[in-house]
Every structure is written in structure tokens, then in C-alpha cells.
């Protein structure tokens, strides 16, 4: 996935789906908020803020802190601005965090991200830039996925679709699992100027369907954003219908008590700027 994807169709799709995305990441958002209480901060930058859920939650919980959400998608930033219009201590910026810099005097003492840092083409340079604009002694905290095999919310969906032809993708290429490997992620952060890198494994249930018809809600969600949606956009109607039927059967297997949920596995990564 490339920058132009987030600035175009992908960004629009995720902006349209912010409510269901926040629902699926709800457990992880709560864990990140809980971990944020370990830090003292007055200024926060939220990298890859998306539609603003984590930024807004921090702004509500810390009314005396100033929160800036940064995202490369105009559509996601517009959604975040609409949601945060009633809060005076949060603002959103459309920019690439790999090169963006805050205004003088606004260096953050905490940098956060909920699954928004895995898409940098040059992650070392990006984290070096983030370190350079952060205050001395600033802390970094972000979440990212652990390996695909530990994430049935992805692996089980992928398993019902035909395998992708061609060479296996680079596991460290920009994408959802770019930081799944701890050693690689640690090396990226340390090379980018961060120290004391630590990892906390977090397991959660990602709700992909709910409401009166949770199965169809899950099918709609999976076919709107994410890897399955990308692959479905590349096939003919007959193949698409066949694949959607398989996805529906998967949702039915995981439907219980009016909810479709699958296990997800994440890291919460923390680091420190000397």
C-alpha cells in the first residue's frame, strides 16, 4: 500500500468506515489509553490518526493537554475534524509524518499511534524525523499487528480466498504487518533515534459484525476495507460473488450473541527519546 492509495480510494473508504473501524479497534484503543497514563505530557502528536479516535479520546481525558493528529488522507482528516469540532484542545493536520514538523514551540512530549506507523516507505528516516521534532525526553507509544499467523481476523479471511499468485510479498514492506517482527522494529526505532524500546503483547477480539444482522454487517465491513476488499476489487462479478459467499460462511462460523468477532494479536511498542 502506497501513499497515493491513502490519498485516494483507500483513504475515502476508511473515512466512510470510521465507525465500524473504531468498533473493531475499541479494545486496543482502551489499552492505549490505559498505557498513556504511565506518561506525563502536555503536547501529543498522533501519527496516522485516521478519523481521530485516539486523538479525541486523549483530548477528552486530558483537557489541559494539546493534541495534534496527523494523517496523510484528506478524507480521514476531514472526518476527524468533524468529530472533534466541539473540543478546543485537539486539531488535525493533513501531512506526511515522515517529513512534517510542528510549529516552533509545539514539540510533543508524547507521540502516539493506533496502527498508523506501518506504512512509511523509509521507516528509519520517518522515525528519525519524528524523533527530531519531539521534545528531549519525549516518549513514543504505538500499536501494530503481530505476525499474520497470530491474527485470525486476517489469516482466516485470507484462507477462504484463492492464494495470491506470484512471489511472496516482503514481510517488511509498508503494510499492516510491517512491524510484526520485534527485532526488525527495534532496529528501525533505534536507528531512528529512539531508545529503551519495549514490547507488550496484546490479544483482543476484533468485532467485525454486530447489530440486527451481524453476519451481513461483517461481510459488508470485510468487503469495504482491508486486504479482502482490495482483492475483490480486482476480480470479475462471478468470482466476486463466489468469494463473498465464502466470506459469509466464515462470518457465520464466528457469529455468537449477535456479534461476529475474531481474534487479533498486536504489540504495544514504547520507546524514549534521550
Quickly list DSSP for 36-94.
HTTS--SEEEEET-TTSHHHHHHHHH-TTSEEEEEES-HHHHHHHHHHTTT-TTEEEEE
pLDDT of residue 228: 83
What band does 7 get if pLDDT is binned at 50, 70 and 90?
Answer: low
CATH of domain 3-272: 3.40.50.150
Give tens-digit pLDDT for 151-177: 999 999 988 887 777 787 788 999 999
Q: Which of 129, 172, 173, 155 is nearest to 228 (CA)?
A: 155
What band does 204 get if pLDDT is binned at 50, 70 and 90?
Answer: very high
pLDDT of residue 170: 87
Give tens-digit pLDDT for 122-132: 999 999 999 99
Sign of CA dihedral 68, 88, 85, 18: positive
Q: Which of 22, 87, 96 is nearest to 58 (CA)?
A: 87
Give tens-digit pLDDT for 36-92: 999 999 999 999 999 999 999 999 999 999 999 999 999 999 999 999 999 999 999
The residue assigned the cell 528509519 is: 124
Here the cell at position 41 is 505530557
Here the cell at position 109 is 512530549
pLDDT of residue 231: 82
Mean pLDDT (the chain) is 94
Q: Quote the DSSP letter at residue 96.
A: -
pLDDT of residue 248: 96
What band does 4 get if pLDDT is binned at 50, 70 and 90?
Answer: low
Q: Which of 28, 27, 69 is nearest to 51 (CA)?
A: 69
Q: How far apart are CA 244 and CA 224, in angstroms?
A: 12
Given a cut of 80, whether residue 17 has pLDDT beyond it is yes
Q: pTM of the prediction?
A: 0.94
Contact predicate 112/36, CB 8 Å: yes
Q: How far apart are CA 109 and CA 139, in angstroms?
A: 6
Amino acid at each position: 500500500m502506497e501513499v497515493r492509495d491513502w490519498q485516494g480510494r483507500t483513504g475515502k473508504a476508511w473515512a466512510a468506515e470510521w465507525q465500524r473501524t473504531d468498533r473493531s479497534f475499541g479494545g486496543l484503543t482502551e489499552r492505549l489509553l490505559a498505557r498513556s497514563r504511565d506518561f506525563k505530557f502536555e503536547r501529543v502528536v498522533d501519527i496516522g490518526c485516521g478519523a481521530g479516535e485516539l486523538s479525541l479520546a486523549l483530548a477528552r481525558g486530558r483537557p489541559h493537554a494539546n493534541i495534534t493528529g496527523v494523517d496523510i488522507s484528506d478524507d480521514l482528516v476531514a472526518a476527524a475534524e468533524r468529530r472533534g469540532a466541539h473540543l478546543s484542545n485537539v486539531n488535525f493536520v493533513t501531512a506526511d509524518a515522515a517529513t512534517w514538523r510542528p510549529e516552533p514551540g509545539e514539540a510533543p512530549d508524547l507521540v502516539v499511534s493506533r496502527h498508523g506507523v506501518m506504512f512509511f516507505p523509509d521507516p528509519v528516516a520517518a522515525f528519525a524525523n519524528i524523533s527530531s521534532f519531539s521534545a528531549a525526553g519525549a516518549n513514543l507509544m504505538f500499536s501494530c499487528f503481530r505476525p499474520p499467523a497470530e491474527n485470525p481476523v486476517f489469516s482466516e479471511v485470507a484462507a477462504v480466498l484463492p492464494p495470491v499468485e506470484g512471489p511472496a510479498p516482503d514481510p517488511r514492506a509498508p503494510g499492516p504487518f510491517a512491524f510484526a517482527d520485534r527485532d526488525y522494529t527495534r532496529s528501525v526505532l533505534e536507528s531512528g533515534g529512539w531508545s529503551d524500546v519495549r514490547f507488550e503483547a496484546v490479544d483482543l477480539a476484533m468485532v467485525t459484525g454486530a447489530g440486527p444482522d451481524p453476519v451481513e454487517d461483517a461481510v459488508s465491513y470485510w468487503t469495504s476495507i482491508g486486504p479482502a476488499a482490495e482483492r475483490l476489487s480486482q476480480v470479475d462479478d462471478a468470482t466476486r460473488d463466489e468469494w463473498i459467499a465464502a466470506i459469509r460462511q466464515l462470518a457465520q462460523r464466528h457469529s455468537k450473541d449477535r456479534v461476529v468477532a475474531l481474534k487479533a494479536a498486536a504489540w504495544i511498542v514504547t520507546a524514549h527519546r534521550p
